Amino acid sequence: MFLRQLQNELWKLFGKKRTYIGFAMFLLAQNAIILMFRFTNATRPMKRLLESNGYFAQDFVSTLTISTVMVILLAVTLLPLYVALVGGDQVAKEAEDGTLRMILSRPVSRTRLLLVKWLAGVVFSIVLVLALGVFGLAFTRIWFPGGSLFVFIPGEVFGVFDASTGLARYAEAHLIMVAKAVTVFTLAFMLSCFNMKPAAATILALSFFLINRILEEIPYFKEYEQWFVTYHLDVWRWVFIQHIPWWQMAQSLFILLGFNVTFLTIGATVFHVRDIKS
Amino acid sequence: MISLRNVTKFFGKRLAVDALSLAVPRGEIYGLLGHNGAGKSTAIGMMLGQVWPTQGELFICGHDITTRRQRALQKVGAIFESPVFYDYLSGWRNLHILSTYTAPTSAARIREVVDWVGLTGREHSKVRTYSHGMRARLALAQALLPAPELLILDEPSDGLDPEGIHEMRQTILRLHREMGLTILLSSHLLNEVEHLCTRIAVLNRGRKVFEGTLADARQRQRWVRLRTSDFAVAVRELRAAGLVQDERDGRLVEPVEGVGTDALVRKLVELGLPVFEITPEEETLETFYLRLMRENPAEPPTDGSAHPAPQSPPATRP
């Protein structure tokens, strides 16, 4: 019965047009970036950097490298926006529309309903991250050749990998990025359980992460960067470090797990005690 | 089927339902009557476990709704005013979604219910293409899916055109007749309640001001319509004789307890006043309701300090 409820929740979620905004915008943004790289001299600084480090640059101007450049940017900007949009809708939109009242006239516990909705959101987060990765590779492949992977994030990552290792790292990064997407989704979902408009839940969730990002980016706070959730949200980027700091990454993932459990518990408690009115 | 004992609900400091006690026996069509904001929807919300009572006990189908919600709602169907669905999905998919929150429901059962409410042929169309009447039928279908014993209808005729109201009324009567359902319906449409209900409760500002059968409501006052050559003189003389205690509208008198129309006629004939007509006046639900509202005027919004604790249930009439 639980699986049927989850299946129906997915029907509801993927039956809505607004669910696809994220996918559509990824397509748009990725193709814009790809075309910029293809028809301008934007790859020149990348080549210079590689050659100054003794690498044959042409091998690295590849599908994997351009896809990774896009992912690094889109995962910071657009991904949180779209998972927060869906998370903010999950409960608040149904409460606003009145369909929640219809469901809650049925003998289903609020906790179970919330769990089903949360899991549907987790599935959405996974699909969106998957789309980000696959779309990136697929569209970049149209304009760029296959080849090695070069990743450069100033002050954080300088990685060069052959094609097969690069592809594995690319896949692993997306796997860990799911933790980021789910965390952002869960915060928006928690806020959605309060008596507020869906847009308010989305905006509040995004504001929370933006404030964390601002605090993290202030140079004077550098030694406290681990205090901010955004630091842990971006651990997927460490997959591109030559020697992956697995232990540090595991610690950050546990912290994200803690955030998720806390958000979900608060959301469930609020949802349980609140009155559902027309 | 439904039992509310001293149920009170505050939203913040605002008192929405005040020490409400109700009992809806099996097989009744029970009307919850009151103007907008009287507390009907809040009371229904509490019956369905959607709104938590501040105080009091609610039993649905013998189970405490606050502690055993799943058991209590197992055989309950509900419809709300202006039925809403997932517009971007088909009627069938909506029914399937809602049914999974009760119990596994076969396609055959969904088809049976769709047929019963007269949606066959349109069940696979998106709900956004449905008319208001079709949405009302879909709402009914979702309520009937779990084969309920109790149907709770919150303003079921709201927003329907006269034809839709008539259709809804016939459907409710049919449900009661053919399936033997107990039905609780809330409405501010007196005509609707008068046509459907066997028993009513009237709410005003969250308080129950009447509970009883429609017959009780109609016969609560013993007004007598009197047509004579001089109504004012007749009333004065009847009052002087201690036979009448009140008069209104220049045509109605209220005899003193125990005094029948025969005594009034006898007295008037003695006085030489011709009696053209004398007949017991039966109140309509509308006049009864309006009088109830006059007798129980709306108080200003109550806050916690002005109304510190729920009192025992108000005395109900009769």
A69, A153, A185, B117 from A136: Cα distances, Å: 10, 18, 22, 50
CA dihedral sign of residues B306, B308, B310, B312? negative
pLDDT at residue B300, as a whole number? 46
Contact across the interface for B102 and A107, Cβ inside 8 Å: yes
Mean pLDDT of B180-193: 88
Contact across the interface for B78 and A275, Cβ inside 8 Å: no
B283: distance to nearest CA of chain A, Å?
34
Q: Report whether pLDDT(B305) > 60.
A: no
Q: Report whether pLDDT(B100) > 60.
A: yes
A234: distance to nearest CA of chain B, Å?
36
Q: Report whether pLDDT(A106) > 80.
A: yes
**Quick one: which H or E segment has residue B210?**
strand B207-213
Contact across the interface for B48 and A273, Cβ inside 8 Å: no
Q: Are A43 and A51 in contact (CB under 8 A)?
A: no
Contact across the interface for B70 and A109, Cβ inside 8 Å: yes
pLDDT at residue B306, as a whole number? 37
Residues of A in contact with B81 (CB under 8 A): 278
pLDDT at residue A166, as a whole number? 95
Backbone region of residue B205 per phi and psi (left: phi > 0; alpha: psi in -120 to 50; beta: other values): left
pLDDT in tens, A150-167: 999 988 899 999 999 999
Least confident interval from A78-82, B177-181, B280-284: B280-284
Helices B107-117 & B91-99, crossing angle to 10 degrees? 120
pLDDT at residue B301, as a whole number? 44
Average pLDDT of chain A is 94
Nearest-CB residue to B73 (from A17, A107, A275): A107
Q: A52, exposed or middle or buried, with CB in 10 Å at 0-12, 13-18, 19+?
A: exposed
Order of all β-strands in the sheet with B14-24: B14-24, B2-11, B55-60, B63-64
* B110-B116-B121 Cα angle (round to 5): 70
ipTM here: 0.85
Contact across the interface for A97 and B78, Cβ inside 8 Å: no
- Residue of chain B minimizing CA distance to A95: B84
Helices B132-144 & B91-99, crossing angle to 10 degrees? 30
pLDDT in tens, A13-53: 999 999 999 999 999 999 999 999 999 999 999 899 988 98
Q: Report whether pLDDT(B302) > 60.
A: no
Least confident interval from A44-53, A60-69, B135-144, B306-315: B306-315
Mean pLDDT of B194-205: 89
Mean pLDDT of B308-312: 36
pLDDT at residue B259, as a whole number? 86
Which one-letter amino acid corresponds to residue B236? R
Average pLDDT of chain B is 86
Instruction: Please tell me which residue, A2 or A114, carries the higher pLDDT value.
Output: A114
pLDDT at residue B221, as a whole number? 64
Q: Report whether pLDDT(B317) > 50.
A: no
Q: How confident is the model at residue B162 (pLDDT cuts 50, 70, 90)?
A: confident
Q: How confident is the model at residue B298 (pLDDT cuts 50, 70, 90)?
A: low
Q: How confident is the model at residue B315 (pLDDT cuts 50, 70, 90)?
A: very low
Mean pLDDT of B27-32: 92
Q: How confident is the model at residue B299 (pLDDT cuts 50, 70, 90)?
A: low
Q: Report whether pLDDT(B295) > 80.
A: no
Residue closest to A194 by CA, chosen among A263, A90, A271, A118: A271
Q: How confident is the model at residue B310 (pLDDT cuts 50, 70, 90)?
A: very low
3-state SS track over chain A: CHHHHHHHHHHHHHHCHHHHHHHHHHHHHHHHHHHHHHHCCCCHHHHHHHHHCCCCHHHHCCHHHHHHHHHHHHHHCHHHHHHHHHHHHHCHHHHHHCHHHHHCCCCCCHHHHHHHHHHHHHHHHHHHHHHHHHHHHHHHHHHCCCCCEEEEECCCEEEEECHHHHHHHHHHHHHHHHHHHHHHHHHHHHHHCCCCCHHHHHHHHHHHHHHHHHHHHCHHHHHHHHHCHHHHHCHHHHHHCCCCCHHHHHHHHHHHHHHHHHHHHHHHHHHHHCCCCC
- What percent of chain A is modeled with pLDDT above 70? 100
pLDDT at residue B82, as a whole number? 78
What 8-state DSSP symbol labels residue B126?
Answer: B
Contact across the interface for A104 and B152, Cβ inside 8 Å: no
Nearest-CB residue to B104 (from A1, A17, A104): A1
Q: How confident is the model at residue B311 (pLDDT cuts 50, 70, 90)?
A: very low
pLDDT at residue B35, as a whole number? 86
Instruction: Please tell me which residue, A24 or A54, carries the higher pLDDT value.
Output: A24
Instruction: Please tell me which residue, A115 or B287, carries the higher pLDDT value.
Output: A115
Q: Are B35 and B84 in contact (CB under 8 A)?
A: no
SS3 B274: coil
Q: How confident is the model at residue B219 (pLDDT cuts 50, 70, 90)?
A: low
- B→A contacts (Cβ < 8 Å), by residue, are 11, 41-42, 45, 48-52, 69-74, 76-78, 80-86, 88-89, 93, 96-98, 100-104, 142, 146, 152, 154
- Residue of chain A minimizing CA distance to B151: A105
Q: Are A124 and A242 in contact (CB under 8 A)?
A: no
- What percent of chain B is modeled with pLDDT above 70? 92
Q: Report whether pLDDT(B316) > 90.
A: no
pLDDT at residue B293, as a whole number? 81
